Each structure stands twice: as structure tokens, then as C-alpha cells.
Structure 1
């Protein structure tokens, strides 16, 4: 009976004439309505409906992902117990996957706080420029994968990382603060997993192991590949006695925040999901018709998602699904959506609307969901089982973001 009252609350926001829940004046596909029109009435029902939602989002948007590889090996090639001036133990681990004569590999960089009692909780996330970019630590291996030489990160030479790439992205990774709070930090480089270049899509990394999956309309997209690699990182963490694998949060920013949300939706081992400005295909609703849309995603980045998503170009406001379904797949585990006032592509009100639309699922499953509040003011975080904040500024990860993310993580992951 503990689920009966939340369900009555749910009924008050569901239209009796259609299968759309109302988010303000916006009609959204209802997570509590089965494909056959029946309604979810119990937690057992929800598990069946959750399976339907997972199938919908896999088929229509993210694409299929392989099972856990049968031949996967972990090699710790670096161990420094006095890293970062003695604050951390640094491990570097190669994840090696072999399938049908092909091989893919990527490296994990792991920092474990030396002052914390072990096993410690951890935060795992993908990075943009290579593991060596998140900190100036000279012991970090330079990636051998392609590295972009951009105006923001002018450090690579002919697509290769140089020593100038060390620490160039450190401002987005609050390594010292994460360690001081008692968390291990685990990161891996997107390009070692799967190419983020249109001309090289599906030709590198883990995609080379599963060519048959690219011949489908629900093909193994790059966002799904990044999420799948995060799960392989979790496979390693389950073997590391310094890490409490029951207390691992998955983090991501921008397109890698999309991957973090999908990793949390597809892998229930992640104890929490932390998404920063993930926008379209991540934390924001398409149905608002605001910010980055499906046409842009499928034109600029056609490899990110399954080809099936192309069916919906120009039809954002008519989707039979939306991103509150992804957050519902994470429920009842904690999820945090962070955004920024000037990030119009990410549509901050649309990200808040996603959190609000998923609230009913969280409450139905016995949690406090998202605090009852209108769209919050800048720098005023909302913290429940769903958390949210909007800060000033643009598309970035700032210290303010990390402070709120770590505060939220403390509530849910620290003993």
C-alpha cells in the first residue's frame, strides 16, 4: 500500500483522454501507460513498463548495445601510491576486449583518495581531450588516440597528444575537491572508445568489434558506445578492492552527459547519475521545441544515435517518447541535472521540465523525487532524489557545478 497514494497523485496529472502526462501546458508521453493502453498500478507493473520504455528508447533513439564481452581483460600498468603529492593513489588500467579476431582497448585513469577509509565511493566519467588533460600530473599516460587541436585546446600535433595537453581540461575536473570529499575519480577518453568524428564514425574503438550491429536501423550509436564503455569501466571497478562498487556514480558533461544518462538507464549498477548540460538527447525535453533539435543532431552528428531517430526530424513536438523516459529508467536511483543560464541549446527550462516530468515515477517508487518548486533562481539548487540547479554562464563545468554535484553525492553515496 505504500505506493497507492503516490499513484493517486499521478492520476491527477494524467489526461483521461490520452496517454500524455501534463508538464505545465505541455503534453508528454506517459511513462505509466503500457503500449496496449493499460495503466501501471503496482511496482510489479512498473518493472514490466520499464522494460517497454527501455525497448522504445533503444529502438527509436540510442540503438542496441552488445552484452558484456566474453573476452575482456584488465591490466593495471601503473600504480603510484604517492600521487598528487601524496593525496592519492593513482592507477592506470587498460581494458582489453577481444571478439572474433578483433581487439579494442581503452585506458582508465583512477585516483583514490589516500586519506579516506577504503573501499571508497567513486565517480566515473568520460573526458574530451584524453586522460592526461584532466590534470597536469606527469605520470598520466598520453593517449595514443586522435586528439583534436581546437581553439580551446591547442595542444595536439597532427592529431596526437603532446605534453602540452597535460592539464588543459583541468578546469572542468575538480580533482582535488573530489578526492577531498572522499571519492575516487575514474575517467576514460571518448576517442579511445569510439570516434567522435563524422568521417571516422564506427571505424575505430569498440565499434570495430560489432560490425553487424551497424547494418540495423537501431544500430549501435556512438552515445550508446560511450555508455557501454562506462559499464565496462564498472566491470573493472567491481574487481578493485579499493572501490565500493555499490557506490559508484556516473558523470558526464555535454554529449558525454548524454552518455552518462544512457549508462545509468541501461546499467542499474550505477548508484547515481550526474549529468551536466547534456541537452538534446540527454536532459532536455524535445517536445518543447526549444534549443538543439533532432534535425541538428541527425545532420551534424548522425553517428551519435541510431538511424531510427532520423524518422523524427522536424517532429520534435510529436515524439511518442521523450527524455523524461530516460530519467524514469534511472528511477528510483538518484539523478542530478545541472544546467546554465546562457546555454540556450541545452534549454535550461527544458531540462527542469524533464526532472519535473520524471518526478511522478520517483514518488511512485517511494522516494521524495524533485522538491516541489517552480523553476529555481540562479545558484539555488533543488535537492531530493532528483536534483537540479541552474547557474550563470554558458556551456561548461564550473566549480559551482561540482560543489552541488558533490553535495548531492554526499547525501546518497557517503555512508
Structure 2
């Protein structure tokens, strides 16, 4: 385990400049074809198989670039100007590019504890909807300020677009991911905030749960991603959601979600009615978080989130974690009998274990969770026709 975690530092960096230089860029023209299975995370576009950790670094970079090209838009790097200030439990970030500047503030609530600083922290999109351990701080991030998400008219509206242009390819979710990365930069620059930038979790529910997964996938400094009831576009796979709709379950699919809001890029519209053409699916979004922690929950009382789709998607995602020797770093838990975005008592122990392992360094915490709820069947082999290499 110690060797693997050390190797993950060397071979992570899904969107790092070094990875792009080492692995090259996507070809301008990519042959897209219908694949009714969940795409093979261990096969490059050129057909070659992933054989070792160095290969995996390049495959991660390739998948990251594919998500940016076809679904989420481009995440810009750290801007040429970035500064931060801290006062009265508020962290203010200023970002600038080509003489254009924006700034925003996040609030920090500190734990009522005598534990040693700096504190681990949970970054919550919009609002906090999960229980947080006593020793962790909470950072509330107003993601709507960065990238608006009211409806289709929100395209290109928000501080991110004031900085990068209202026709920037980044979807609102990628704009939020960019801003969360800048919050982490600011925490690294501002020790007076007393937050440990190496012990951060990101969380959100529903649309913000989708955003939390995107943020975790595109910044490997986030130790733990907690996606609560994120459904389609989050922990659910597009292909499986389409199959559920064909089987009569009124679940949200790509064809509906692109008409609702601007969470995805304009380019994604072309796949909305044929997700089999996508050269990836969301088991691979989970894979971009590996080997770091990911805990996803879903609620069977709200069928538009999907039933088999989130469960099956995360079961497939666990195969990527398994290839890296850390299958228990991805947990999925599904239940019902509670309101949307209300965290149920029966999942509190699971969540606490993930906090213990990834924010408080308790390697003994049991995070081996794959819990199915609801009355449905799912056979992973109906969706996975690829083998899992041992990469650790």
C-alpha cells in the first residue's frame, strides 16, 4: 500500500502539464463509433492496452481530454494572476488574466474543538447537506456566482465567463471545478486560514453532486469526493440511464438534461440522443478520481436519479479502483425512504469511515461499500466486456 500511494503521486495529475507533455495531445479527428457497452477504461484510442501505471497516467490524461472535448468543456489552468486574503473567517480570491480581474469570497466555519491546526476541511457547493466530523472545517462555495445554472439562458453567465469570455467552452460545472481549484490555490497561499490544503473534501447534492464529482475528477489535490444523489451527469452512466428509460423507468437521460440547464458544454448536445457514440461514460469520471477517495450516494425514492444506472456505473468504476489496488477507495450506497438531499442515518457510518480514512489518516477505517437499494436487477457483465489489468 505504501508503495502504491507513493507511485500515485508520481503517476497522478490527470490534467497536469507534465502529463500532457509526456502523453501528447488528442488527435484533431477522432473516429467515433457506437459502443453499447461501457467503454473500456484500459484501452487507448489507438487500440493499445494499459499495461502499467505509466500507461495509466497517459490513459487518464486522454480520458480527461475527452471529457473536456465532448462533455464538459475546457478547464483553464491557474491564471497568470492569483492572490488571496483572509479576514474574519472569509477567504477572498482574486484571479486575473490579460488585465481582466474577478474576485469572490468563500466563508469558513471552524470546528468547535481543541484539535491541532491546520484543520481538514469540506468544500460544499452551494450549501452543506451532509454531517461533517467535529474536527473538520466547512467552506461554503457559492457556485452560482461563478457559473450560473438557472436554465439555458445561463450559458456564459458568471464570474468565470467575465474572466474567460462568454463564449468559453467550459460548462457551468467545469467553471465551478476551475473555481474550486483556485480556492485550493488560495488555501495553499494563506496559512492564516488554518486549513490543511492536503486534507480537503468536496461535496454537493443533486446538481451540486454532479459538480462535486467533476471537481474531484479534475483536481488531484482533493483527497475525498462526496457526491450525494447526483444521478445522471454525476454517478450514473449515460448508457445505462438510456436503457432504464427504454425499459419504462422515468429517469433523467442526456436527451432531457441538455434542455434543462448549462451543466454540460454545447458540444455535448450532439451526443444527447446517441450516447453510445461517446468514447467514455461516467464510470470513467469516477476513474479520474482514483486512487483518491470517492463516496457516492443515491436515493431510490426519486426514480429520475436512476436506479440501476448509478449503482451499475459505480460498480464498473470500482473495477478501475480495483486495477490500482484500492477498490475500497470508491464506495457507493443507495437507499430510500427520505427526502431528496436529506442524509439518512443508515449512511452516516459509511460517510464517517470515508472521512476517517481520507481526512484523518485512519487506514483501518472500513470503506468497502457497495450497497444496492430498491427493487431492480443489474448484471455488470451486460455492460462490461473488458478485462481488468493489475496495475499496482
Are residue 296 (structure 1) and residue 259 (structure 2) matched? Answer: no
The Cα of 1:213 is off from its aligned counterpart by 5.2
CA distance in 2, matches of 1:192, 1:283: 24
The Cα of 1:339 is off from its aligned counterpart by 0.8
Match of 1:203 among 157, 181, 204: 157
Match of 2:334 among 390, 393, 396: 390
Match of 1:252 among 184, 204, 211: 204
Secondary structure of the residue that 1:58 maps to in structure 2?
A: helix
Match of 2:138 among 182, 185, 188: 185
The Cα of 1:247 is off from its aligned counterpart by 1.2
Which residue is equivalent to 1:284?
236
CA distance in 2, matches of 1:70, 1:101: 10
Within a 5 Å distance, the mapping from 1:118-267 to structure 2 comes to 118-127=117-126, 172=129, 174=131, 178-180=132-134, 182-198=135-151, 199-211=153-165, 214=168, 219-241=169-191, 242-267=194-219
Are residue 48 (structure 1) and residue 1 (structure 2) matched? Answer: no
Which residue is equivalent to 1:165?
none
The Cα of 1:403 is off from its aligned counterpart by 5.1
Shifted more, 260-269 versus 115-124: the winner is 115-124
The Cα of 1:258 is off from its aligned counterpart by 1.3
Which residue is equivalent to 2:93?
95
CA distance in 1, matches of 2:236, 2:45: 23
Higher relative contact order, structure no. (Cα contacts within 8 Å, ≥ 6 residues apart):
2
What is the aligned residue count?
317
Secondary structure of the residue that 1:257 maps to in structure 2?
A: helix
Which residue is equivalent to 1:313?
272
Secondary structure of the residue that 1:287 maps to in structure 2?
A: helix
CA distance in 1, matches of 2:214, 2:154: 23
Task: Give the RMSD, CA atoms, in angstroms.
Answer: 2.3
The Cα of 1:232 is off from its aligned counterpart by 1.1
1:92-134 CA-to-partner distances (Å, cap 9, x unmatched) read: 1221223334332221111222412222211112116xxxxx6
CA distance in 2, matches of 1:236, 1:259: 20
Are residue 272 (structure 1) and residue 221 (structure 2) matched? Answer: no
Within a 5 Å distance, the mapping from 1:312-391 to structure 2 comes to 312-367=271-326, 369=327, 384-391=328-335
1:54-82 CA-to-partner distances (Å, cap 9, x unmatched) read: 1111101010011111212212232xxxx
CA distance in 1, matches of 2:294, 2:34: 23
Which residue is equivalent to 1:63?
73
Match of 1:410 among 330, 348, 356: 356
Name stretches of at least 5 consecutive residues in structure 2 with no aligned partner.
Answer: 5-32, 245-250, 362-392
Conserved 8 A contact 2:311-2:334: no
Conserved 8 A contact 1:293-1:316: no
Could you say which structure has the higher helix fraction? 2
Conserved 8 A contact 2:147-2:158: yes
CA distance in 1, matches of 2:189, 2:110: 15
Conserved 8 A contact 2:217-2:289: yes
1:278-305 CA-to-partner distances (Å, cap 9, x unmatched) read: 111111011111321111121111x221
CA distance in 2, matches of 1:173, 1:193: 23
Secondary structure of the residue that 1:335 maps to in structure 2?
A: strand
CA distance in 1, matches of 2:330, 2:42: 18
TM-score by length of 2: 0.75
Larger C-alpha radius of gyration, 1 or 2?
1
Conserved 8 A contact 2:156-2:166: no
1:158-208 CA-to-partner distances (Å, cap 9, x unmatched) read: xxxxxxxxxxxxxx354xxx252x111111112221211233431321111
Name stretches of at least 5 consecutive residues in structure 1 with no aligned partner.
Answer: 4-18, 79-90, 129-133, 135-171, 370-383
CA distance in 2, matches of 1:361, 1:118: 35
Conserved 8 A contact 2:41-2:284: yes
Conserved 8 A contact 1:179-1:185: no
Are residues 331 and 343 of structure 1, via their aligned partners in 2, closer, same or farther at CA, if it must alter by over 3 Å? same
